[in-house]
């Protein structure tokens, strides 16, 4: 069974399940072994590369038999690109394992007696569903095994695409990405070919030099497009030629922007964005509401499914038009503005000041007058004085980042004691942890998983908590 190696080697092991973070799971004797890029029913050889007290991690060296549930991956970059890792799993099976993930985490981490969990809400689109992608220019592209083993000279080492998982300095050149609708692929390929033909320097991540650095493409459901090209060095002549060529080739682009970023990292949130043509924003629409999206604005990346997610949150809130709502981690105020029509007043709180300005602008844009927004650290803002000023909330809607809510924020909610809490989460594990902290005062009434990201293990989840009634 095991070869004479420092770390175990297991032959012909059957993959049994999918566990946390989408990892495939097998059992060898009393050992739990996690691996990747296989599915339940596959029979494989496993080489352990990490040993832990309670489990091992391994990589697949050979597949002896494929699962009957396996389907062919549709993307030519599958297995190298870090996205869409569940392509070989039928979509109905993806939904099954996401539902199971939510159930397991609620029971194991939340330690709560669950009500019936509503069946996961699948995404109508499972390709071309994203409205934003970020690509990296690299002078050291990832080479395939065929290229490495070939005797042919490799003339082009440039890439415009995604980072190879675990290798910060290697980028796979993307021909067709199945995540974002057109004109995304056409724009990226045009820019790549134009840069190659003009001999423009692609960015060297290790050496921190080059001309072309990153490309961000944003699209909206109403057909508007934003393109942001980030340059490392300023070269007015070449920058203008490139951007003008893009503008001429794609007159439908709503917003063509550029950034000069000479920092050590690719983030542009602290950089100046300059308009080359068009406006500095695009519009998204949802249920008749308009949302203004700038280069640095956050908006859910699957807009059609985000609409379904927010409808669930609104339904769980059970609004009658008389409620005061606190919207925690409000971001650009999407949920706050979405539910405002059905409430007396909505108060949004967010850590990022720029996001709060976007939230206010979105209220003004939609002539919504019963919202107010405040920036600051929630654990500091959400206090007795804040409640006294704005009124006792009937409902708190919270949509925190993956890390969940800070313990002080959970305690602040317990101090405020709203009648209902609607908890929206992109990480059911931290959500379950927070629900456990709230369980002494609140009962879990409804749970609705929502699939926002097909072909990945990620799942959103909405939970309704209601204040426990004191027994007489």
Distance CA 46, CA 62 (A): 8
Does some domain include residue 237? yes
312 and 239 belong to one structural domain: no
DSSP string, 13-71: EEP-EE-GGG-EEEEETTEEEEESS--TT-EEEEEEEEE-SSEEEEEEEEEEE--TT--
136 and 268 belong to one structural domain: yes
- Cβ-contact 97, 121 below 8 angstroms: no
Distance CA 367, CA 130 (A): 28
Does some domain include residue 410? yes
For residue 58, the domain's CATH number is 2.40.50.140
240 and 267 belong to one structural domain: yes
Does some domain include residue 17? yes
Given 286, 318, 352, which residue is the final one in a domain? 286
Distance CA 334, CA 298 (A): 10
* pTM over 0.75, yes/no: yes
194 and 312 belong to one structural domain: no
382 and 339 belong to one structural domain: yes
What's the pLDDT score for residue 32? 94
How many angstroms separate the Cα of 7 from the Cα of each of 97, 221, 321? 30, 51, 63
DSSP string, 273-327: -EEEEE-SEEEEEETTEEEEEETT----SSHHHHHHHHHHHHHHHT--S--EEEE
C-beta contacts of 50-56 below 8 A and 24+ residues apart: 51/7, 55/31, 56/8, 56/31, 56/32
110 and 225 belong to one structural domain: no
How many angstroms separate the Cα of 272 from the Cα of each of 212, 276, 298, 358? 16, 13, 17, 17
C-beta contacts of 144-151 below 8 A and 24+ residues apart: 144/80
185 and 116 belong to one structural domain: no
Active site residue 426: yes
Does some domain include residue 31? yes
Residues contacting residue 112 through CB under 8 Å, at least 6 positions apart = 106, 432, 435, 436, 439, 444
Residue 55, token pair as written in the block: 């489990």
139 and 237 belong to one structural domain: yes
- Cβ-contact 398, 414 below 8 angstroms: no
Q: Which residues of the chain fall below pLDDT 50?
A: 1-2, 4, 472
- Cβ-contact 43, 28 below 8 angstroms: no
352 and 431 belong to one structural domain: yes
Residue 256, token pair as written in the block: 């063509």
Q: Could you list the beta-strand ranges (E) of 128-239.
A: 132-138, 159-163, 171-173, 212-219, 225-231
Taking the CA atoms of residue 274, residue 218, residue 283 and residue 238 in that order, the dihedral angle to the nearest 10 degrees is 30
Does some domain include residue 438? yes
Distance CA 225, CA 131 (A): 9
Q: What are phi and psi of 381, to 5 degrees?
A: -75, -40
254 and 310 belong to one structural domain: no
What's the pLDDT score for residue 150? 66
- Cβ-contact 404, 427 below 8 angstroms: yes
What's the pLDDT score for residue 222? 95
For residue 429, the domain's CATH number is 3.40.50.150
What's the pLDDT score for residue 3? 52
What's the pLDDT score for residue 168? 78
For residue 212, which of 233, 189, 193 has the smallest C-alpha distance?
Answer: 233
107 and 210 belong to one structural domain: no
Start-end of H helices in 53-142:
91-108
Distance CA 331, CA 352 (A): 8
Domain count, the chain: 3
181 and 252 belong to one structural domain: yes
For residue 243, the domain's CATH number is 2.40.50.1070
Does some domain include residue 75? no
Does some domain include residue 472? no
Distance CA 356, CA 330 (A): 8
What's the pLDDT score for residue 151? 66
Does some domain include residue 70? no
- Cβ-contact 95, 86 below 8 angstroms: no
What's the pLDDT score for residue 4? 47
Domain range for 52? 9-65
- Cβ-contact 110, 432 below 8 angstroms: yes
């Amino acid at each position: 069974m095991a070869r004479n190696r420092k770390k175990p080697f297991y032959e012909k092991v059957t993959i049994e399940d999918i566990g946390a973070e989408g990892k495939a799971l097998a059992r060898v004797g009393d050992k739990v072994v996690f691996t990747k890029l296989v599915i339940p029913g596959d029979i494989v050889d496993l080489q352990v590369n990490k040993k832990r007290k309670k489990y091992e991690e391994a990589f697949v060296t050979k597949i002896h038999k494929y699962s009957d549930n396996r389907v062919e991956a549709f993307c030519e970059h599958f297995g190298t690109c870090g996205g869409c890792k569940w392509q070989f799993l039928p979509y109905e099976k993806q939904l099954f394992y996401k539902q199971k993930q939510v159930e397991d985490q609620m029971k194991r981490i939340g330690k709560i007696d669950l009500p019936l969990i509503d069946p996961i809400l699948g995404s109508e689109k499972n390709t071309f569903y994203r409205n934003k992608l970020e690509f990296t220019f690299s002078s050291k592209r990832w080479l395939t095994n065929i290229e490495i083993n070939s005797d042919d000279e490799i003339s082009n080492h440039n890439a415009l695409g995604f980072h190879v998982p675990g290798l910060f300095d290697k980028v796979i050149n993307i021909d067709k990405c199945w995540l974002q609708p057109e004109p995304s692929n056409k724009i990226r390929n045009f820019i790549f070919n134009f840069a190659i033909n003009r001999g423009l320097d692609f960015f060297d991540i290790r050496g921190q030099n080059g001309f072309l650095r990153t490309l961000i493409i944003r699209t909206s459901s109403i057909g508007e497009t934003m393109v942001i090209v980030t340059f490392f060095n300023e070269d007015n002549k070449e920058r203008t030629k490139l951007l003008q060529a893009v503008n001429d080739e794609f007159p439908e682009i709503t917003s063509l922007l550029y950034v000069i970023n000479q920092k050590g990292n690719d983030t542009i949130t602290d950089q100046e964005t300059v308009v080359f043509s068009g406006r500095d924003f695009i519009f998204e629409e949802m249920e008749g509401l308009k949302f203004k999206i700038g280069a640095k604005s956050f908006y859910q990346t699957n807009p059609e499914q985000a609409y379904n997610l927010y409808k669930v949150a609104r339904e769980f809130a059970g609004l009658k038009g008389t409620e005061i709502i606190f919207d925690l981690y409000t971001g650009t105020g999407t949920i706050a503005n979405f539910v405002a029509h059905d409430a007396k007043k909505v108060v949004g709180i967010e850590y990022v000041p720029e996001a709060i300005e976007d939230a206010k602008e979105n209220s003004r844009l939609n002539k919504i007058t019963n919202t107010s927004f405040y920036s600051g650290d929630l654990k500091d803002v959400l206090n007795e004085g804040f409640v006294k000023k704005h009124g006792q909330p009937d409902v708190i809607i919270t949509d925190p980042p993956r890390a969940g809510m800070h313990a002080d924020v959970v305690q602040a909610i317990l101090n405020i004691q709203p009648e209902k809490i609607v908890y929206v989460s992109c990480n059911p594990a931290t959500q379950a942890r927070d629900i456990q902290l709230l369980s002494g005062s609140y009962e879990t009434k409804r749970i609705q998983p929502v699939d926002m990201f097909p072909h990945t293990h990620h799942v959103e989840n909405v939970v309704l908590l209601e204040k426990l009634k004191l027994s007489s």
